[in-house]
Amino acid sequence: MKRQASWSLLLIMILLVTGCAGKRELNELALVMAVGIDKGEGENAFKVTAQIARPADARGQTGAPSGQTGEPIYTIVGQGESLFDAIRDLSSISSRNVFWAHNQVIVISEELAKEGISQVIDFFTRNPELRMRTWIVITPEEASTLVSTVTGLELIPGEAVNKLFRYGKISTVAPNTQILDVQAAYLSQSSQPIMARVTLKEVMISNKKPEKGPTIKQVDLAGAGVFKEDRLVGILKPEETRVLMLFTEGLQSGVVTTACKDKPERTIGVELRDQMFEVTPHLKDGQISFTAQLDAYAMVVEAGCPFTIDDQKQVAELEKAIEKELKKEIDTTVDKLQKEYKTDVIELGKVFQNEYPGYWNQISDNWAEVFPTVDIKAFVNVEITDSVLLWEETNSGKKENSAD
């Protein structure tokens, strides 16, 4: 019994000792919140910019305590012949162990993305310390500049970008792209990667000099970058990105504005609700084609001209105008992807593969050449069911202005 008790005690002691093995104290870690990747000084070199949180200075204090700067972030830059080399270079600068598990966003400069991002994908999916749900974006700016920009509402810029994407489906101007999505599309036989695009835009007004208007740059969602293999081949504008997101994310809402019929200088806006978008593949005599059907309910949210939901003729005319506008957006974006960029970022290959797996095996190796030639027909049906709080048209009560 004594022998068994001794072994039990020894086992408990071993478990207690190993429980502390590999521990990391918070005050010994440099918590990376965002990382920017640019071309380095050499021919194939990388420049990595890490945005590191200062825990003591990110508590919302207005003044800096003794020995601290008051700045919520600390930004350092590493250079290297490879991405790993550049990241290891950060360790020679930081007084703490660089820790990646809290990273919110990976920012890649478009200059680097045009040359290829295979090394970026490999490193950030291979490293066990990094989360696969990290946002990944491209920017026309220097990635180091964007990563270092302090935003207005959030103390930590990386957290600000994170929250931009949380509510991205409201604005529908950039896709929600994470490193997991980019890796899956890169490895796929049928699909190609896409990435959200962000820029720096002067939209913030200084409280000290409000008369100068917007003068402070902030991070802005600005469309999407489309890739062929690992290289950036084109940019989609925000309105084109909305079409892209219909194919890839299944948007539930959106806003469309069209000119008033009798007063073209004015506009009327509707919010699309309960959008249902379905892509159907077809195969006939060896010819591949697709039909894309968009059905949506809508409500009038802004009328620059008299509008009443009771006037069925007026409602029908507005429905046709919105349908025409949406169909034009879909046709224009799809044509751009097929004819100009020639890259299947709208996942038509995946849709066809699911429906016709046998024929897909015959053409999968040549899908990049087949995609630009397939016929894609879009159909749109919009039903306006509401005009929010104002059921009747809004007219001036002044007799002299009633004609307006």
pLDDT of 221 above 60: yes
Greater confidence, 259 or 339? Answer: 339
Query: Order of strands, edge to edge, in the sheet holding 287-303?
Result: 254-259, 267-284, 287-303, 375-386
313: nearest Cα among 384, 404, 403, 394: 384
Q: How far apart are CA 118 and CA 187, in angstroms?
A: 11
Per-residue pLDDT reduced to its tens digit, 147-156: 887 776 666 7
Percent residues over pLDDT 90 in the chain: 39
pLDDT of 66 above 70: no
What average pLDDT does the segment 60-71 reach?
50
- For residue 228, the surrounding DSSP H or E stretch is strand 214-228
Cα distances (angstroms) measured from residue 14 to each of 8, 19, 401: 10, 9, 88
Q: Is 117 helix (H, G, I), strand (E, B) or coil?
A: coil
What average pLDDT does the segment 213-234 reach?
87
Total-model pTM? 0.82
pLDDT of 47 above 90: yes
Q: In the 8-state DSSP scheme, what is residue 208?
A: S
Structure tokens at 392: 């009747």
Per-residue pLDDT reduced to its tens digit, 294-343: 999 988 888 888 777 888 888 898 899 999 999 999 999 999 999 999 99
- Mean residue pLDDT of the chain comes to 82
- Identify the band that residue 17 occupies on the pLDDT scale cut at 50, 70 and 90: low
Per-residue pLDDT reduced to its tens digit, 126-151: 888 788 889 999 999 999 888 887 77
Least confident segment among 3-7, 55-59, 109-113: 55-59
Helices (H), 209-306: 238-248
pLDDT of 72 above 60: yes
Q: What are phi and psi of 295, to 5 degrees?
A: -120, 135
Place of tokens 């015959």: 362
Q: Are 25 and 94 a contacting pair, CB within 8 Å?
A: no
pLDDT of residue 64: 45
Percent residues over pLDDT 70 in the chain: 80
- The torsion of the CA quartet 392, 398, 402, 404, rounded to 10 degrees, works out to -100
pLDDT of residue 67: 45
Burial class (CB in 10 A: 0-12, 13-18, 19+), 17: exposed
Q: Are 161 and 176 a contacting pair, CB within 8 Å?
A: no
pLDDT of residue 2: 59
pLDDT of residue 337: 96
Pairing status of strand 194-205 against strand 135-139: parallel
pLDDT of 400 above 70: no
Greater confidence, 202 or 87? Answer: 87
